[in-house]
Amino acid sequence: MSDRSRARRERLSTLVLGADDLVELVDRTGRDRLMDLMIERLRRRFDEHDPSTVLARKRDGFRYDKPALGLVEWMPTHELGGPVVVKMVGYHPTNPSQRALPSVIATTSMWDSESGHLVALADATLLTAVRTGAASAIATDVLAVDRPIRLGIVGLGAQAVTQLHAISRVRSISSVVAIDSDDDIARTFADRVAFTGIDIETAPPERADTIVGEVDVLCTCTSVDIGAGPVVGDTAPTPWLHVNAVGADFPGKLELPASLVEQAFVVPDVAEQCLVEGECQQVPALRHGPEIPDVVRHADRHAARRSELTVFDSTGWSVEDDVALRLAVELAGDYNLGTEFVIECLPPDPYDPYSSADSDHARDR
Amino acid sequence: MSDRSRARRERLSTLVLGADDLVELVDRTGRDRLMDLMIERLRRRFDEHDPSTVLARKRDGFRYDKPALGLVEWMPTHELGGPVVVKMVGYHPTNPSQRALPSVIATTSMWDSESGHLVALADATLLTAVRTGAASAIATDVLAVDRPIRLGIVGLGAQAVTQLHAISRVRSISSVVAIDSDDDIARTFADRVAFTGIDIETAPPERADTIVGEVDVLCTCTSVDIGAGPVVGDTAPTPWLHVNAVGADFPGKLELPASLVEQAFVVPDVAEQCLVEGECQQVPALRHGPEIPDVVRHADRHAARRSELTVFDSTGWSVEDDVALRLAVELAGDYNLGTEFVIECLPPDPYDPYSSADSDHARDR
């Protein structure tokens, strides 16, 4: 082996988990086991969460209306002693109609906090759907009635698939009422979740008016416009209804009627964020409950909530993305997936930024 | 060609410019032409800068002391109508001694603001050194005497190489006095900049006491500790001295004596940032000059400054990283460099996050 290739081999590489790797990762792991692992890891992280050791930043980003309405946001997090993880999320609502692309496209990256080296870069579109489902499953497990449930889902896009899947891993689902304002999306839902083996009753949009009184657990995962909510009727809810409110993620974007939120025990994922862009926008001052990690850790203390009206206000927490990426990297290691890529140009002489070129040439000559 | 591979080809890919690509990019372009292009593009960007169309964020990040002292920061920027660019920078001062790695490791990424697609990911270690040199060259061209210059450099690490190189592209350099507190670093400097053909006089550390009175242009690019500055003596400067102060980038980190900064016409790159972590920390309230884009645009108006004491307070601006990445992507296109990688997992059915797996399998069967 030449000096040059030896030098090459020793350079730090980045694990790139691309689209094909994620697809294979799901295939090899199995959807159920992947979801179970995500739920297990996330539950443990919630359970052990110590805010004093987690440096997270609120979602921030650029929002613009040129060339089209859209935003690119970053969600950075760091658990002391662990890696730095930053998820980047693009939201471009004209994608499906104008570009045959999903509106949400995301990637996620991990840095070693010892050296600052970029350890891994992965697609986060799939991981985000899985971790969002897992978070709802955990909230459901802690806050919903502990018997076979009738589940309602309003909004039958991508998130609905992983919401149903995740909840099916923590509760037996006796029946599902599935509702979307778009008939074309509603029509394909049963096929998309056929892998769960659960029968789906697809109901017309007006059924959303009364759904809160018909089910034990409800997931709202719509892309309702700002100011156009709520997406369900303001009627009497099942007394023990648990709601996973997943869709709200923007100031003024709301899925639930104010009266329901006001009556409920509301558990935010991140209170600071939920008060700005979640259902907590509708909660009277200081009336929301503890954040999800606290509820998970003290599940016994909150057991009586299973017979009460509860809402999990899920706006998306960067710590969930940290858990998701660590799991993906671990599974990729198990199956030897991904491409190791030397991205960082680390010159042999750290005091000479041009020295990579020099030294390679010198060795070639 | 099978349906599957056709589907694959049509998927959106990300251009990854890794270490080897950057090395080849420099080789193919040539150091001088690369620097000239960077200066030209950056000067144009300064000249056309319209703050109302640039959404940039101040550098932010996680700073920690476990497992070792370090930080990972993000520098996001977006020019309306252009891409979103985020540079990620790690600074881990124990890297050289404990891991044989440079203390600064950086990568940079570009998103299409029409779709949110990750267009490119590149090493930024080399690009940062080149763009920081280019910024000093532009400031020097506008603010320093317009004749062959005697140049002083204090701090002879990686940035010193590109500072000298860049300035040599806008001024004839008649002589150089080069100073570092570390003899080992000082000893190799002449070799590292031999490609410029400029004679280097390496002087002992104590020469820094009087250097401001000996040269026409001075670059300070040290990694002086917080509170340990200034790095040059508080003696009478050459009346027309122009200083590029490159090293200060942290609250309390300073390279220049307060008296020099107080007398000088001080041009920050980003005033808001310089007032917190640059030499502007020492500037009496509201006494700093306009930012560098303004000085470049109105170079005529500032022509008289060439015979006065001036300081360019260079803390690093995310817009410079935007210019650098766009140039790298353009040159990579010219030379067909880089690897196209399908990172984002964009399901064929945007409403089914698991559908990539399905559809691939379906096609295989």
Q: Based on the domain organization, do B16 and B66 belong to the same domain?
A: yes
Q: In this predicted model, what pLDDT tens digit does every residue of A204-247 receive, in sequence order?
A: 999 999 999 999 999 999 988 888 889 999 999 999 999 999 98
- The stretch B284-297 carries a mean pLDDT of 90
Closest CA to A139 of A282, A295, A264: A295
Q: Is the ipTM of this complex over 0.90?
A: no
Residue at A198 is within a domain: yes
Q: Based on the domain organization, do B159 and B285 belong to the same domain?
A: yes
Q: Are A302 and A143 in contact (CB under 8 A)?
A: yes
Q: Based on the domain organization, do B149 and B229 belong to the same domain?
A: yes
Query: Nearest chain A Cα to B94, which residue?
Result: A115
Under the banding of pLDDT at 50, 70 and 90, the label for residue A362 is: very low
Residue A89 has pLDDT above 80, yes or no: yes
Inter-chain touch B341–A16, beta carbons under 8 Å: yes
Tokens in use for B246?
Answer: 């490159």
Residue at A144 is within a domain: yes
Closest CA to B320 of B156, B157, B137, B196: B137
* Pick from B16, B96, B104: CB nearest A343: B16
pLDDT of residue A1: 32
Q: Based on the domain organization, do B120 and B260 belong to the same domain?
A: no
Q: Based on the domain organization, do B269 and B330 belong to the same domain?
A: no
Residue at A186 is within a domain: yes
CA angle A361, B98, B190 (to 5 degrees): 40
Q: Based on the domain organization, do B229 and B192 belong to the same domain?
A: yes
Query: Who has greater pLDDT, A148 or B348?
Result: A148
* Pick from A64, A91, A111: CB nearest B72: A111
Q: In this predicted model, what pLDDT tens digit does every residue of B187-196 receive, in sequence order?
A: 999 999 999 9
pLDDT of residue B355: 81
Mean of the per-residue pLDDT values of chain B: 91
What CATH number is attached to the domain comprising B216? 3.40.50.720
Residue at B74 is within a domain: yes
Residue at B301 is within a domain: yes
A217-220: strand order across its sheet: A200-203, A173-179, A149-154, A217-220, A242-245, A310-313, A265-268
pLDDT of residue B364: 35
Q: Which of B168, B351, B361 to mutate to test the interface with A (most CBs of A within 10 A)?
A: B351
A128 HSE (CA, 13 A, CB side): 27
pLDDT of residue A107: 97
Q: Based on the domain organization, do B105 and B180 belong to the same domain?
A: no
Q: Based on the domain organization, do B164 and B311 belong to the same domain?
A: yes
The pTM (predicted TM-score) of the whole model is 0.90
Q: Based on the domain organization, do B229 and B157 belong to the same domain?
A: yes
Closest CA to B140 of B255, B298, B312, B294: B312
- The stretch B225-254 carries a mean pLDDT of 91
Residue at B343 is within a domain: yes
* Pick from B22, B113, B351: CB nearest A70: B113
> Nearest CA of chain A to the CA of B210: how many Å?
25
Q: In this predicted model, what pLDDT tens digit does every residue of A59-82 receive, in sequence order?
A: 899 998 877 789 999 999 999 989
The domain of A240 spans 129-317
Q: Based on the domain organization, do B112 and B156 belong to the same domain?
A: no
Q: Based on the domain organization, do B328 and B300 belong to the same domain?
A: no
pLDDT of residue A291: 95
pLDDT of residue B66: 74
Tokens in use for A261?
Answer: 């939120």
Q: In this predicted model, what pLDDT tens digit does every residue of A128-184 receive, in sequence order?
A: 999 999 999 999 999 999 999 999 999 999 999 999 999 999 999 999 999 999 999
Q: Based on the domain organization, do B273 and B358 belong to the same domain?
A: no
Under the banding of pLDDT at 50, 70 and 90, the label for residue B89 is: very high
Chain B residues with CB under 8 Å of A158 CB are 347, 350-353
What CATH number is attached to the domain comprising B63? 3.30.1780.10
Q: In this predicted model, what pLDDT tens digit does every residue of A290-343 receive, in sequence order?
A: 999 999 999 999 999 999 999 999 999 999 999 999 999 999 999 999 999 999
Residue at A285 is within a domain: yes
Structural domain count of chain A: 1
Mean of the per-residue pLDDT values of chain A: 91
Q: Are B180 and B156 in contact (CB under 8 A)?
A: yes
The three-state (H, E, C) secondary structure of chain B, written as one string: CCHHHHHHHCCCCEEEECHHHHHHHHHHHCHHHHHHHHHHHHHHHHHHCCHHHEEECCCEEEEECCCCCEEEEEEEEEECCCCEEEEEEEECCCHHHHHCCCCEEEEEEEECCCCCCEEEEEECHHHHHHHHHHHHHHHHHHHCCCCCEEEEEECCCHHHHHHHHHHHCCCCEEEEEEECCCHHHHHHHHHHCHHHCCCEEEECHHHHHCHHHCCCEEEECCCCCCCCCCCCCCCCCCCCCEEEECCCCCCCCCCCCHHHHHHCEEEECCHHHHHHHCHHHHCCCCCCCCCHHHHHHCCCCCHHHHHCCEEEECCCCHHHHHHHHHHHHHHHHHHCCCEEECCCCCCCCCCCCCHHHHHHHHHHC
Chain B residues with CB under 8 Å of A342 CB are 18-20
pLDDT of residue B10: 56
**How far is the CA of A146 from the CAs of A150, A166, A193, in angstroms?**
12, 16, 23
Q: In this predicted model, what pLDDT tens digit does every residue of A14-53 receive, in sequence order?
A: 999 999 999 999 999 999 999 999 999 999 999 999 999 9
Write down which residue in B283, B298, B316 finishes a domain.
Answer: B316
Residue at B134 is within a domain: no
Residue B358 has pLDDT above 50, yes or no: no
Inter-chain touch A346–B113, beta carbons under 8 Å: no
